[in-house]
Structure formats: structure tokens, C-alpha cells
Amino acid sequence: MNPYINTLLYYAAAGISIIIFLYVFELVTKYKDWEEIRKGNVAVALATGGKLLGICNIFRYSIEHNDTIAETLIWGVYGFFLLVLSYFVFEFLTQKIHVDEEIGRDNRAVGWLSFFISVGLSFIVGASIT
């Protein structure tokens, strides 16, 4: 296949997936990502940016290690669900902090921590993709 067309197809598949995945993430948080970002909430921007970068990183590994767009999407969806699971584990393990509430209040320390957890775990998920 033409490499330009192939790149466009991977780009489109990943881009549509990212939009869907960010929407799902917004459903599981107590705050509205884009509304809070519009208001200047840096913690929400960091948490959302970490999710975005984490998803993109998983797709990067998936594209690199798979031969078809279908395989890439399967790994991308699987990696996304692992990131969502990580979000719930982070929230559960930090019950004294109430991550969602702190991020909603623009607690940048929690926003940064959320950012690094999403990105860091995306490297672990990505490295395991075959």
C-alpha cells in the first residue's frame, strides 16, 4: 500500500479513537474536561493532556508492532481500557485525596500526578504490545 495513504489511514483511525476515548474519560470524571479547561483549570488540562498523551503513546507502540489497522485498533482499545482501569485504581488508592475533586478544584499537584501516571503507565502498556 502507498505509505502516504497508509499513514493517513492510521492517522484517521487513531484520531477517531482518541476523540471517542477522551469522551469516555469525560464520562467517568466528576468534572467536565473542556468546560474546566475553558475556564483555565490547569489541573484538568494536565490530567486531560496526560490521558491524551498516554492514548497516543499506546497507539504509537501499536502502530509500530502491528501489521494491520485492525490489530492496531484492537491494541489501542485494550490499552485505553487499561488506562481507564489505572484511573480507577489511582482514585481508589488515594481515597484521602479524592483525585477528581482535587483536579476539579485546580489542584495542580494532583493534576501533575495524574498526568505522570497516565503517561508512565502508557509506556508499560506500550512496551508489552506485540
Residues 102-113: tens digit of each pLDDT: 999 999 999 999
Q: How many CA atoms lie within 13 A of 91 on its CB side?
A: 15
> Nearest-CA neighbor of 64 among 10, 25, 119?
10
The per-residue b/e assignment along 90-123, b for 16 or more CB within 10 angstroms, e otherwise, is bbeeeeebebbebbbebbbebbebbbebbbebbe
| Structural domain containing residue 24 | 3-128
Entry pTM: 0.90
pLDDT at 18: 95
Residue 97 in this model has a pLDDT that exceeds 90: no
When the pLDDT of each residue in the chain is averaged and rounded to a whole number, the result is: 93
Q: Rounded to an integer, what distance in angstroms lies between the CA atom of residue 62 and that of residue 68?
A: 10
Start-to-end Cα distance in the chain: 22
Question: Number of structural domains, the chain?
Answer: 1
Residues 67-85: tens digit of each pLDDT: 899 999 999 999 999 999 9
Residue 2 Cα to chain centre, angstroms: 29
Residues 31-53: tens digit of each pLDDT: 999 999 999 999 999 999 999 99
Which pLDDT band, with edges at 50, 70 and 90, does 95 fall under? confident
